[in-house]
């Protein structure tokens, strides 16, 4: 997509991003996949700063899926090392800039030291309001939905909830994103056009924008272009359109 360096129209309240293309970026340059992941961290930094500058309240980034655990052991090790590096090197800067960090996903599969770093980062930044940054790690939407159903079934079984009281709202209250608004805009990089088990419940009425840019090359301009595309959509939510 082409565009200018500024956006017009309403900003989405919540932007979600599937960061795809690190491996292809590295392969095109004859580099190991780890080089692409390292370059991808720079794109994360740029995008977080761009979202904060634009005034987007919520940004969710798909960092590591539940399916990614199937990758080669060496690549998983490198990704976890990069995660440790990010948590050590970026949290102070995020805190200084008023960014609140939250992590959603299955923490039981993460190393204890990573979980500790996540907990400390969440606690440190819990009062910040400039931007809510949500990182999805060891996350799968189907697993999240099953977990919510299991918690509701337990409440029914133990008499805390009747089946008649189960609503969309009560179900959503059992998801990992219970206090986070649904995304208005979901962006996927690298030209792939699928959402890969990411925020399935929450994206029921989300506008999807697919861009060809590989994630390590993603810039503020790409984000602005996606927002311009978003503002050209007629969001009807099942009603009659206005255009």
| Binding residue positions for Mg(2+) | 20, 207
Burial of 29 (0-12, 13-18, 19+ CB in 10 A): exposed
Among the listed residues 20, 184, 222, 225, the single catalytic one is 20
**Could you confirm whether 20 is annotated as catalytic?**
yes
**Could you confirm whether 68 is annotated as catalytic?**
yes
- Binding-site entries: 20-25, 33, 37, 65-67, 69, 71, 188, 194-196, 207
- Binding-site entries for substrate: 21-25, 33, 37, 65-67, 69, 71, 188, 194-196
Q: How far is CA 9 from CA 65, 102, 229, 230, in A?
A: 33, 28, 10, 9
Q: Tell me the catalytic residues.
A: 20, 68
């Amino acid at each position: 997509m082409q565009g200018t360096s500024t956006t017009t129209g309403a900003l989405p309240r919540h932007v979600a991003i599937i960061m795809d293309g690190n491996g292809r970026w590295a392969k095109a340059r004859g580099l190991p996949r780890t080089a692409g992941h390292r370059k991808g961290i720079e794109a994360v930094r740029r995008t977080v700063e761009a979202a904060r500058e634009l005034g987007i309240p919520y940004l969710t980034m798909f960092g590591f899926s539940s399916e990614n655990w199937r990758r080669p052991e060496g690549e998983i090790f490198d990704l976890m090392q990069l995660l440790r590096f990010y948590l050590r090197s970026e949290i102070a800067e995020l805190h200084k800039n008023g960014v609140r960090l939250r992590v959603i996903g299955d923490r039981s599969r993460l190393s204890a030291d990573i979980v500790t770093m996540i907990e400390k980062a969440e606690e440190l930044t819990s009062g910040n309001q400039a931007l809510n940054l949500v990182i999805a790690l060891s996350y799968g939407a189907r697993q999240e939905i099953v977990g919510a159903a299991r918690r509701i079934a337990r409440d029914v079984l133990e008499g805390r909830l009747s089946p008649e009281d189960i609503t969309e709202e009560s179900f959503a209250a059992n998801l990992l994103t219970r206090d986070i608004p649904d995304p208005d805009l979901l962006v996927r990089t690298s030209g792939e056009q699928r959402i890969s088990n990411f925020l399935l419940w929450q994206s029921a009425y989300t506008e999807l924008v697919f861009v060809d840019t590989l994630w390590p090359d993603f810039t503020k301009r790409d984000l602005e272009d996606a927002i311009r595309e978003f503002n050209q959509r007629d969001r009807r939510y099942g009603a009659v359109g206005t255009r």
